[in-house]
Amino acid sequence: MKFITSNKNKIREAKEILGIDIFSEPYNGEEIQDIDVEKVAVYKLLLSGVPNSFVEDTGLYLGKKREIGAMIKYFPPERIAKAYYGEKAEAICCIAYNGKEVHIFKGKIKGTIVYPRGKRGFGWDCIFQPEGYNKTFAEIEEKNKISHRYKAFKKFKNKIKSS
């Protein structure tokens, strides 16, 4: 099965969560500019044209207006922390898989935006503190057992096991 990404951190986490061999193929198409993670994931999957493959996209929805979303990858974590410190956030992971048809798997986790802390993880992990924790994703060893990505990949794994 091919994971359409060149993000080594996403590949590492997917392998750890799924516990199966994954082969990656870089996505060389254009990036759609949208806050909706599902739109972004499906767009990349269909544009890639690679059969029996999947794409994962993640968004961080910030504040009462649920801003930024899938566009989070374009903002430095320090800038987000400064603008949204103390505000509620929801991390959403969307996996688009093209078996015989396109299937969508989502995982979500709520939290709060804090100033950067921690060395683990990547992207905005250092500013997202999940509900029920006093540490950020970048400080939590068990991130891959609680995260939005874990929840989406767990659903995806159940689907590919039953196919």
Cα–chain center distance at 148: 7
- Per-residue model confidence (pLDDT) at position 6: 87
Which sequence positions are flagged as catalytic? 57
Structure confidence by residue, pLDDT tens digits, 132-158: 999 999 999 999 999 999 999 999 999
Sequence-separated contacts (24+) of 98-105 with Cβ below 8 Å: 98/45, 98/46, 98/50, 98/51, 98/52, 98/53, 98/54, 99/52, 99/160, 99/163, 102/42, 102/45, 102/46, 103/159, 104/38, 104/41, 104/42, 105/152, 105/153, 105/155, 105/156, 105/159
Structure confidence by residue, pLDDT tens digits, 32-49: 999 999 999 999 999 998
Domains belonging to the chain, first-starting first, are: 2-162 (3.90.950.10)
